Amino acid sequence: MRRTLIRYKTRPEMADKNAELVAAVFAELKAAKPDGVRYLTLRLEDDTFVHVVEAAADDGSSPIPKLAAFAAFQDGIRDRCVEPPLYVALRFHAVESDAFELAALGQGQDGASGLHHVGHARGEAVDKLRQA
């Protein structure tokens, strides 16, 4: 199993476009339902984006780079950023959390803050966070 954290900061005028591209990746993931992939994206107040990707394949490969929406997201990423993507391999074993069941934390399609869930049978984690 491989876990990776990717962090970058977008230009303020490009943050919403970046969020739309991220949402398209989640939509394609939701439709494709690939096995062994968990993906969480956070958008911070300063337009920093943090992605955490978990791939359960023995070789650590992920189907995400094969998605058309991911290719569109990658196209121009450096031009959208004031701080380029930084990739960090995560090695933790003690933390097994429902957080990976959340697909995205940020703005919804209607512009309201909210949670978007792509996952298995743990939608209750999203509901609990919405109530908080």
Q: What is the pTM of this model?
A: 0.69
Residue 83: domain span: 2-131
Q: What's the pLDDT score for residue 121?
A: 34
Q: In this structure, what are the phi and psi dihedrals at residue 16, rounded to the nearest 5 degrees?
A: -65, -40
DSSP 13: G
Cα 130 to chain centroid distance, Å, stands at: 18
Angle at 30 between CA 41 and CA 109, to 5 degrees: 60
Domain total for the chain?
1
Residue-wise burial string across 95-107, b where 16 or more C-beta atoms lie within 10 A, e elsewhere = eeeeebbbbbbbb
Q: What's the pLDDT score for residue 93?
A: 55
The CATH number assigned to the domain holding 48 equals 3.30.70.100
Q: Chunked in runs of 10, what are the mean pLDDT values of the chain (132 residues)?
A: 92 96 94 88 95 83 90 95 92 55 42 37 39 42
Whether 47 and 9 have beta carbons less than 8 Å apart is answered as yes
